[in-house]
């Protein structure tokens, strides 16, 4: 076994889908390998979007219990959406797979910290995510590449990028 515990930051971008596919390829070759798929979500923005869609805003939410319920709902919705998207890609794997959502603060730093805290020995991530910055590498992947203490495999989607 070359790697035992691979982290895959996932944001739904084509690049992160390609990274997940690459990690799954590793996993199919080694049933003892563990995959850790992590999506970092902005629950504050998701809650605001949900409240606005319902015709409310954070000022009209009367109680902290109602606001907490909104946070729980958007987290649950994000989790279900993530599973709908990635579960078919994981079908048939015999590996241990952990799927986690993290509240966004600083995605690059969170990825590096998660890898350390969970003893990951490889990070497989997309070259760019859904952010607005364009370039050879996205700001998050660039940060992780510079700061991670483990190897980082950067995967890009397609061959004509």
In-domain check, residue 23? yes
Measured CA to CA, the distance from residue 4 to residue 19 in angstroms comes to 17
Range of the domain at 112: 3-41+85-153
- pLDDT at residue number 62: 55
What is the per-residue pLDDT for 71?
A: 80
Report in angstroms the alpha-carbon separations of 158 from 15, 16, 17, 63, 139.
Answer: 8, 12, 11, 48, 20
Per the structure, the count of domains in the chain is 1
pLDDT at position 136 is 44
Q: Measure the N-to-C terminal CA separation of the chain; round to a whole number of Å.
A: 32
Is 146 part of a structural domain of the chain?
A: yes
Does some domain include residue 58?
Answer: no
Residue 109 maps to which CATH number? 3.40.50.620
Per-residue pLDDT of the chain (161 residues; tens, 9 = 90+): 689 999 999 988 888 999 999 999 999 999 999 999 999 887 777 777 777 777 765 555 556 667 778 788 888 998 999 999 999 999 989 999 999 998 877 889 999 999 999 999 999 999 865 554 444 456 888 899 999 999 999 998 763 33
Using alpha carbons, list the distances in angstroms from residue 71 to 51, 74, 86, 118, 120. 10, 5, 22, 25, 29
Asked if residue 62 is part of any domain, the answer here is no
> Is 61 a domain residue?
no
């Amino acid at each position: 076994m070359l790697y035992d515990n691979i982290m895959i930051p996932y944001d739904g971008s084509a690049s992160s889908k390609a990274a997940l596919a690459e990690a799954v390829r590793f996993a199919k070759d080694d049933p003892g390998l563990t995959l850790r798929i992590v999506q970092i979500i902005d629950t504050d923005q998701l809650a605001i979007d949900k409240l606005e869609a319902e015709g409310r805003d954070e000022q009209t939410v009367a109680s902290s219990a109602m606001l907490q319920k909104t946070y729980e709902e958007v987290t649950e919705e994000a989790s279900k959406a993530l599973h709908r998207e990635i579960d078919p890609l994981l079908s048939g794997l015999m590996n241990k797979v952990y799927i986690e959502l993290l509240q966004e603060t600083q995605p690059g730093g969170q990825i590096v910290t998660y890898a350390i805290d969970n003893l990951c020995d490889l990070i497989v991530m997309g070259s760019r995510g859904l952010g607005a910055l364009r370039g050879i590498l996205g700001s998050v992947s660039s940060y992780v590449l510079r700061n991670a203490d483990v190897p980082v495999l950067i995967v890009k989607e397609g061959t004509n990028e």
